[in-house]
Structure 1
Amino acid sequence: MDDPSFISNRLNVNDLVAARKDDIFNLQNLLGSSGTQGKKRAFQSVPRTERRRAASHDAKRVPKKRGLRKQATFENLRDNAKKRNISKYIEKKKKLSSFDHIDQASVNSKATFPFPNSQVRYANRQKDKIWLPTHIWHTKRAFLQNVGGYMVPSTATQKQYRRTYRLSNHLNEKGTMAWDTSYYKSILIHGASVDSIVQKMSSKLKSFFPGIDEPIYSNGKKHWQGIFNKMYPATAHFYQASFFVTCRPETFDEIWSILYDMRKNNLDIFSTIEDTSFAIGSIDIMGSKALQILTDILAPCHESVTDKGSGCSHFSSEWNQLGAAKSLTILPTRMCLQLVVSDPRLLLSRSKGNKKLQEFGSLSDLVNYLQNHSRNGNYVMNIYNRDDRVKSIEAQSPQGLIDRMRSSKDKIRSDCTPQIPLTILLLDDNRIRLVLPRPWILPFWLCIFKRKRAIVGGFKELQEIAFERGLPSFPVDFPLTAVGENYLKQVELENRELYARKPPSKRPCYGRDIGDPFKIVDIKVLQNSSELPSQYMHVRVDCMNRGSPRPGARLFALKADELQRYQNNVRLENAPEINQDRLIGFITSGNFTLSKAKCSGLGIITETKDSSFSKDFCLVKNLASDNIFLSRLVRVDIFKYGNAMV
């Protein structure tokens, strides 16, 4: 009350603030610095997405921006920190990666992975599973899971569900997401001759690849993407007299046996069939900056068949214009492009400003020019030729030599600039697939992630992209296939173990559920007699009012006269109509969809013969729940090629 700001028992705010100005300023400084009070060192100021485990000891692992690397170097000198023995580290790295630098294609037989011997580091960990070329890089940045005998990144350690959705739809999200898809198996079929062999091959293959005989696929301008033999998703494309097929590792044995038998019965058309699973790998890139990154790290070689050293410089300038695409959706669908490039590690950052189209009116015209240039045989090397792949692998320089050449001002040696053949494919879900020799996967991968705002994607991100598009993903939403059945059996065992570990008071009540509650799909309850999978349909379920379908939820048929009653009620409990006679299907995956801003799910149903039931609506009931929700049924035609999620 003695403060001068109090006048006749009234508080003058302006006088109080002027009198306590210094105290308020000091309090604001303390509140602002309290969050970073203990972060005094350089590595503690690094953003969470850029932190690494060894950053506190190795200044080279600290980013250069904001002067953090200089500060970290000064801290190491001040602390007299011990330097890491680089020679031992390089020697261990050579032992670890030496077995993965050979071409392992097998002709007319399945290829076996060259597992490392006991002298190689981490050899015992690779006895029962296969590591990807980027396995060591992924272990610090993603969770791993076993998929078809491969250790595949499951998902990133950072939460990125919304960012994945924005990147897949190019919603003003600057950046890229990349997948190492080298775990995909591949089969290479060669024709017996060049004369009209593609037409003969496509006529024989169209029974397994619907629509592959169309001219747009047989001339090599576009690649095929769909359901192989109405069973498994796959991609395929022609190049000259070669036919290249990519599939998931769980489906490889069955696809290989079918194609091998077809080749045995048609030796006049198909000369050889190769298992190139351990010879050819792939990297998938997605995002608005995907093409810009590719044009930065891919430099076409200046060497052609007819006119050596001339004409390709012009082609390089045309290729750089392809980075002007702001979105992959404006490119020609299922674009297929062949290139021969140099080592990306020898290139510095080439993204200088915005790239623009100079001589072409549209990107489609530019892509046609690039395709015609590569398809007319202007390049020496071919990724589907084993000799060319081996030549590029043998010319691969060690990373130490590349670093010395880049750090010095000497001219890059000609023997250290190998030619690398590769193929670029544009998938239906706005991903670009880079198909290249397997030993070159790691150098290209590291060059991609040296660019800004590149994040890693995993198996769950691929499922999310398919779910947001309203399409089933393999093998989660394919319960009627052998691979999907094995996957659901693993999920069933996990559900049983989780239920057994819980105390009785915390266990969900499955007493009122129909069928085995631990099974996502219980076909025996749905139909006692064994029927063909073609009688079932893939559907998408969109909730009308509220509710979220979960995996294992039961779908029940709804009569037309009952529809009005369910529309007026947001939620119904213990509906008398719900019984086993009305069970028509199951939900295999469900969640909230950002694309529709509502809850949705994917599953399978069987068509009811009773005409009194509605074909556009159904009832959804989650396991261990009495709530029943009205949902709309949307049929998904996965057998129409183009809707496959690979």
Structure 2
Amino acid sequence: MSDSNEDGFNVNMRLPTSLTLSKFAVARGREIQIMKNSLSTSTCTKLAFQKLPKHLRRRTMSHNVKRLPRRLRMIHLAQMKKSGLPPKQKRPSRKYRRRPRNLLSEYTRRQRRINWLNTHIWHAKRFHMVEKWGYKLPHCPCDKAFRACYRATTKHCLMQDISYHKCIEISGEFEKLVDSFKKITDPNIGLTIGAYAYKKGSKEGRIVLHDIDNPSKVIGDVSFLWRPIKTKFLNQSVSHLWLWLHPSFQSEALRTIKKCFGFPDVTSDGVQTLKSNDNIQLRENMYDLNRFRLTGPLSTAVLCNAFQLSEKHTVDWLKDFQNLPGEHLLKMKPYWEYLRSVSDPSVLPPHFVLPLIILDPRYNFPKAKTKSLPLKKSALEQIQDPNITDSPLWSFKIRCLLPHRKVSNAKIAEMRQSLLVPGSDLELPPEAIPVILVQRPGVRSNQYNGYSSGWDIILPATYAQPIWLSLIMWGGRPGGLRETDSIGFEANAEPMLSPDTKAGVEEEVLVSNKCKDEFFRLPPNKRTNYNKFRITSPFEFNWKLLLNEWKSSDIPVEDFTVIRDKKVLRQIQQVLSSSDKNAKLPQLAENQLVPVTISLLKKGPCHNFAIICLPESKDFSKEPTEPNCRDSNESKRKQMRKEHKSLLKKLRKRRVRAKRDNKIIPLDKEMLKNYTMQMRKLWLPETKTLRHSCSREVMGFVKQGGFSFLLSKSKGIGYIASCSLEKLLFLKCKNKVLIRNTNSKQYRLGILDVIID
């Protein structure tokens, strides 16, 4: 029996010699939680606002609960209800009162005319949005961060949502699929869809689709990925293939693919599944797969911080894969650990695929936006192509189950609110997300040093918004369509929509009409008089007319193509850059265009629609200037304008007299339309000649021009006629050409290089 003092306290009480920290922390945590709950509930007779000090009390607290601190609002509302005076619930604003009851149904209704991305709401608040290819897409950030986005591609990480690329899945026998694609592809352009490097599913490939009825007609570039077949849980006789189609030509490509495999040509708004007579199945994965693109040296670090590999795969949606998750983790974990130490994704094997199973990124959000940096170098010196295993993301059933297994944002917010220590990490759930990473090598050269390298993330559409926000919080900078064009321009890449495709022609028409509308919105004294500059096609790329003027035969050119054969392009580049005077060009057709880049030798800008011309021997010592030219239509425009003004005065007097007699004379809209059309033809006459339109022979056009931050000077990307190369070599100019902008008479020397993608 221990001794006690007068107050009843035990004097001889001894503390224990050891203490179990975990049990002690759990016990104290329970006590703190009980104390926290007791503080939140009131048992005294005081009202809620009476607990506050006098300097914080307000008279309006009795009828406006928002005047109280948050910790006392619920107690105050309960007390007001008990007193029989229910608080008046008034909507804070008219905008809130008119808010739809079901936001999801309202968003679905607004997408009847045009499609939205899953990240549309996030982008719409921060980006300038444009309607393009049937989608509402982000064009550029509202913060005017052009240089910041460029710095992100060179030093940090730029993010883009490219989920507008449509994914279709084709399954069937491997040999039948490869044989059918031979009808709509050209083996001379590059590796085919059945190449050994791609059929294992360890790399993503790229092919060029051709029209099945007209093989010379190109549809566009398509990315493809085979499902890995090295797994005992997958039927070896069935191969699965994903194709990613650009929205500008996806309808044309789908129609060609259906005709090639014998599918019925049926259109549908939802997920469409078709089956042919050869047991080949086609499914459109338009709404259950998304794709993000990360560009920049820190893109790997952003991925490694945002994604955490799932180590416990005891979830229901993996039961079809049995032992695959554990085997998958053992194989992918060493490569994932190596990626955490990689300073630049361009050093990795090109286009290799890495399937992962990650945890929900909402559970490891950083406290604030954090710049991700690579860790110290790993012990592994080099990474080899991993032995890729199958990914649960290929299963359509699992993609359908993921939306039902997802934890809502409200539930996660409630879990964060109930944390004992605010801001601490949440307890990780057993749920996991399958994703597929695809490496992009960028430009591998000493001059560009891996520019535009990064990763593509293929992910379930259900988790598009959480993963996007997680990547933003870990240092990714968002970009839009403008950044896509900027990256391709800096990397000397050929435009995605080539001029020999239907989608490319439509894009050129849209750009041309937009430039014409901007030109004619200007007053006459502010417009550039292109007739005096001897520019016959200031807002159009007349490729057919240019090729017809350069050809030697009498047969007119109706269809033209862009040279895509890498062997031919390399031969042309070697001839242009070699010092051998007897070097000869390969045999080229007269209806072909050569993709080229021109970098200016001296200062000066290079704009879109600039003309590429042949130089003369005297031009190398001094850059020439176009001689002055008279505009023959100037007097006609002045006369028409004078007659039109007098006619308008007569019509106005006639309307005034008719108004006095209570009569109305309708406006002659047809007359005004004819006048506008005739005046526009005098400003921009129909193009009849291109090659000999000015003092130097025109070889081609600059399709995209501007200042290059990588080269620190202006450059342009365009196309030239194939027949013009022979005369360029005949003049002994090699790879030197002239460039002249449409609003200038000054020619500038530039170096011409062939684009070999």
Please confirm whether the aligned pair reaches a TM-score higher than 0.5, indicating the same fold. yes
SS of structure 1 residue aligned to 2:613: strand
SS of structure 1 residue aligned to 2:392: coil
- Say which of 335, 339, 342 aligns to 1:325: 342
SS of structure 2 residue aligned to 1:256: helix
Structure 1 residues 428 and 347 mapped into 2: Cα distance closer, same or farther (>3 Å)?
same
- Say which of 211, 228, 253 aligns to 1:255: 253
Distance in 2 separating the partners of 1:149 and 1:604: 28
Q: In terms of mean alpha carbon deviation, does 518-527 or 217-226 score higher? A: 518-527
Structure 1 residues 122 and 242 mapped into 2: Cα distance closer, same or farther (>3 Å)?
closer
- Say which of 427, 431, 443 aligns to 2:454: 431
Query: 2:296: which partner in 1?
Result: 287
1:19-59 deviations in Å (ceiling 9; x for gaps)? xxxxxxxxxxxxxxxxxxxxxxxxxxxxxxxxxxxxxxxxx
Contact residue 283 and residue 434 of structure 1 kept, 8 A: yes
Structure 1 residues 554 and 316 mapped into 2: Cα distance closer, same or farther (>3 Å)?
closer
Query: 2:720: which partner in 1?
Result: 605
| Identity across the alignment (%) | 21
Query: 1:34: which partner in 2?
Result: none
1:124-167 deviations in Å (ceiling 9; x for gaps)? 64342111111111122211112211111111122333333333
Mapping 1:542-561, distance limit 5 Å: 542-558=599-615
Contact residue 185 and residue 249 of structure 1 kept, 8 A: yes
Query: 2:413: which partner in 1?
Result: 403
- Say which of 213, 218, 226 aligns to 1:238: 226
Distance in 2 separating the partners of 1:220 and 1:595: 34
Q: Please say which structure displays the higher CA radius of gyration.
A: 2
Q: CA RMSD in A?
A: 3.7
Question: Partner amino acid for 2:594?
Answer: M
TM-score, structure 2 as length reference:
0.61
- Answering whether residue 575 of structure 2 is matched by residue 590 of structure 1, we say no
User: 4+ residue runs of structure 1 moved beyond 4 angstroms?
Assistant: 74-78, 82-86, 88-94, 122-125, 265-270, 304-317, 348-354, 356-359, 409-414, 575-578
Question: Partner amino acid for 1:441?
Answer: A
User: Which structure is higher in strand share?
Assistant: 1
Distance in 1 separating the partners of 2:487 and 2:67: 44
- Answering whether residue 262 of structure 2 is matched by residue 264 of structure 1, we say yes
Shift of 1:601: 0.4
- Answering whether residue 566 of structure 2 is matched by residue 533 of structure 1, we say no
Distance in 2 separating the partners of 1:91 and 1:236: 46
Contact residue 341 and residue 378 of structure 2 kept, 8 A: no
SS of structure 1 residue aligned to 2:297: coil
Structure 1 unpaired stretches of 5+: 1-73, 98-119, 638-642
Distance in 2 separating the partners of 1:540 and 1:308: 48
Mapping 1:102-501, distance limit 5 Å: 120-121=105-106, 125-169=110-154, 173=155, 175-192=156-173, 197=174, 201-205=177-181, 208=185, 210-211=190-191, 212-229=193-210, 230-240=218-228, 241-264=239-262, 271-301=280-310, 302-303=312-313, 305=321, 307=323, 318=334, 319-349=336-366, 355-356=375-376, 360-362=380-382, 364-365=383-384, 368=385, 371-372=386-387, 374-375=388-389, 377=390, 382-409=392-419, 417-429=430-442, 430-451=453-474, 453-475=475-497, 478-501=498-521
SS of structure 1 residue aligned to 2:300: helix
Question: Partner amino acid for 1:217?
Answer: Y
SS of structure 2 residue aligned to 1:449: helix
Contact residue 606 and residue 715 of structure 2 kept, 8 A: yes
Shift of 1:249: 0.3
Question: Partner amino acid for 1:397?
Answer: V
Question: Partner amino acid for 2:344?
Answer: S
Contact residue 526 and residue 583 of structure 1 kept, 8 A: no
1:99-131 deviations in Å (ceiling 9; x for gaps)? xxxxxxxxxxxxxxxxxxxxx335664342111
Structure 1 residues 217 and 203 mapped into 2: Cα distance closer, same or farther (>3 Å)?
farther
Shift of 1:222: 0.8
Contact residue 154 and residue 458 of structure 1 kept, 8 A: yes
Structure 1 residues 332 and 504 mapped into 2: Cα distance closer, same or farther (>3 Å)?
same
Structure 2 unpaired stretches of 5+: 1-65, 71-88, 211-217, 229-238, 264-274, 443-452, 550-555, 562-591, 630-690
Shift of 1:309: 8.0
1:84-112 deviations in Å (ceiling 9; x for gaps)? 989x9899799334xxxxxxxxxxxxxxx
Question: Partner amino acid for 2:146?
Answer: Y
1:252-278 deviations in Å (ceiling 9; x for gaps)? 012212222232289586620111122
- Say which of 556, 568, 571 aligns to 2:621: 568
Q: In terms of mean alpha carbon deviation, does 404-413 or 478-487 score higher? A: 404-413
Shift of 1:510: 0.8
Query: 1:56: which partner in 2?
Result: none
1:66-94 deviations in Å (ceiling 9; x for gaps)? xxxxxxxx99979xxx99989x9899799
Query: 2:102: which partner in 1?
Result: 95
Structure 1 residues 312 and 601 mapped into 2: Cα distance closer, same or farther (>3 Å)?
closer
Contact residue 424 and residue 433 of structure 1 kept, 8 A: yes
Count of aligned pairs between the two proteins: 514
SS of structure 1 residue aligned to 2:715: strand
